[in-house]
Amino acid sequence: MPVTLITAEHPSNAWRYPKVPTAEELFEYSCREEHRRCQNLIQDSYPTNLFNTSHISPSEHGFVWAAVHAYKKSSSLDHTP
């Protein structure tokens, strides 16, 4: 099903939320309860340089929260399928 997004006419705002440097910290801050019960993170599927080349911020509601926040604050949101 196609999705149409209409962007605002004004410039976007910078993303001001802190980034995490590792997959372990992304898991810890995104899924606090699961991380607390987990002994360690066995494996992740992130490319090795992703955390060095991208700004990844943890969120319990991930993509939906980021999309709504970006829309409301007129920030840009880059994503790939």
Q: Where are the domains of the chain?
A: 23-62
Averaged pLDDT for residues 67-80: 68
- Does the predicted model carry a pTM greater than 0.75? no
Structure confidence at residue 21 (pLDDT): 93
Q: Is 75 helix (H, G, I), strand (E, B) or coil?
A: strand
Residue among 29, 14, 1 at smallest CA distance from 69: 14
Helices (H), the chain: 23-30, 32-37, 50-53, 62-73
Average pLDDT, the chain: 80
